[in-house]
A and B are shown apart, each in its own frame.
Chain A
């Protein structure tokens, strides 16, 4: 909101007002030099390590380039044609979308529930924040080691717990029907703290008078939550959902570390497929083409979200 206010007038009135007294004096030229001088260090890194790889990746995707350097001639869109006919590519894309769907829902809903509970004026706030947020600080490898151990079929905590309530053991990471859910459980444990903190901060920003007025009108806790908190959290929820979808689409680490994409490719993500096509299949050009298909998908989803939120706020 504040940016809208500062940038909007700058577009029309501010430059006129500012440069009018000095007209086309050395000041504006000095500003040009200063502006680019301050931007230069970032720009160098930006061009070298973001823009250039984007361009060279696009070019690479049109070649048959391999990791050994052979056959780097332009082959046109052949890589893309091959990718679109590649069942494994579609399968890993499907796995990624499935993971995104079944991870985003709990990561938003449970985070909101936890934040709402903790925000009910509970004692020892720091303790709850510490408990729910600390896993977020772990490296994916640590999380994967923890959970692979708990998912261990004979020695793991999960099956032991199931046995205590009389449920037969589950092959957590080895059953194609269960493996993705096992990864999602680990992911929710690992990353929920971030969304939880965002919700907690947003809840604490809601003016207390709203609740006081509502409680004078006789609204109970549930009523207050649904008619005050939830609507006020709208923008935060939109933001968390967008960030979460974009983050989940990029999933690779914890899946690769826990299942290596197995069993039988049931959990292989699109990022893993990009990685394997390039580094174990040695086909850099093909790998780059899949990267661009993945990027196209992310772009589409992002544009759809921008469009949806625009429409809603308009």
Chain B
């Protein structure tokens, strides 16, 4: 929306400027050229999806025959999808991913929003230090923590449980920072009035601040969810049992198990990609806003 309203007025002055000695206005020609270039690149960007789909719709024999062809000799078939769904654990892994990602997102939102609210709105001793420590922790790369975290989970007997997948993934220090910045902009008068009326902090937080913060909460939620859904390294280490694997880790085991069954490999990759693509089609605007706001607020 913003794009069309922004670009339209931009065209007008250029059209009217034709009478002036304007050497090179942004002619429609350059825009047509840009469209062609972008279209070619966009098609190139979609080739991996298309080629994976074409392969997944072949029989294994056709997928492995040379010279390679987009259209299989013996016609398209849903065989690979059927085999993967029958023999594999993909539905289970999808549910695992869905459950753990949802839990991680929910916990992250609750704990990040409340600490961000405290830092933004409450004058308490030590808050500067707290904020400083949280901001500093942004620099800690998660791979540095895998060895001690593994030990910790082993000591707590949590390896191969959902807890091991969820608990270490709920700290998102940049998101605390993003939320705090948003809360800073909510007018204090709203809160003061409620305080006068005798409302407690918790009440103000849940009935005034959170409802006003829906866009940023949605952005953070989407961001955390995508990250949790696609995380590989930690779930790869924290789980071994097939029934507990998340989708990305499960796929990795399939790859080694199927070996050279190309059509089935691509079918399982596409099945794994499907849920987030569907989510994207539904929430495109929120996801894009999420990237823009949470990404840009990182400065």
Interface residues of A (CB under 8 A from B): 2-3, 6, 14-15, 18-19, 28, 31-39, 41-43, 45-46, 48-50, 52-54, 56-57, 60, 114, 117-123, 125-135, 137-142, 145-147, 149-150, 152, 154-157, 160, 189, 194, 197-198, 201-202, 204, 208, 211-212, 215-216, 218, 220-221, 224, 235-236, 239, 243, 246, 249-250, 252-253, 257, 271, 274-275, 278-279, 284, 287-288, 291-292, 294-295, 298-299, 302
Contacts and interface: CB of A to CB of B under 8 A. Distances in A.
A193 to B, nearest CB: 8
A16 to B, nearest CB: 11
Interface string B249-262: 10110010000001
B295 A216 contact: no
Interface residues of B, number: 114
Interface in B100-138: 107, 110-112, 114-115, 117-119, 122-127, 130, 134, 137
Contact of B143 (A127, A128, A129, A271): A271
Interface of B: 2-4, 6-11, 13-14, 17, 20-26, 30-31, 34-35, 37-38, 41-43, 45-49, 51-52, 55, 63-64, 66-68, 107, 110-112, 114-115, 117-119, 122-127, 130, 134, 137, 139-152, 167-168, 170-171, 176, 181, 184-185, 201, 205, 226, 229-230, 232-233, 237, 247-249, 251-252, 255, 262, 265-266, 268-269, 272-273, 276-277, 279-280, 284, 288, 291-292, 295-296, 298-299
Which 7 pairs show the lowest CB-CB distances between chains A and B? A35-B124, A220-B24, A38-B118, A201-B292, A131-B42, A42-B115, A53-B148
5 contacts: A35-B124, A46-B171, A139-B229, A141-B269, A220-B23
Contacts of A2: 181, 184-185
A160 B68 contact: yes
Contact of A288 (B46, B147, B280): B147
Contact of A54 (B43, B48, B145, B279): B145
B100 to A, nearest CB: 13
A212 B145 contact: no
Contacts of B46: 131
Contacts of A141: 232, 247-249, 251-252, 255, 269, 272
Contacts of A201: 291-292, 295-296
Given A35-B122, A39-B119, A216 B237 contact: no
Contacts, number: 318
A275 B226 contact: no
Given A35-B122, A197-B292, A57 B147 contact: yes
Given A250-B142, A302-B139, A208 B284 contact: no
Given A252-B233, A275-B146, 6 more contacts: A2-B184, A129-B284, A140-B230, A204-B6, A275-B233, A291-B145
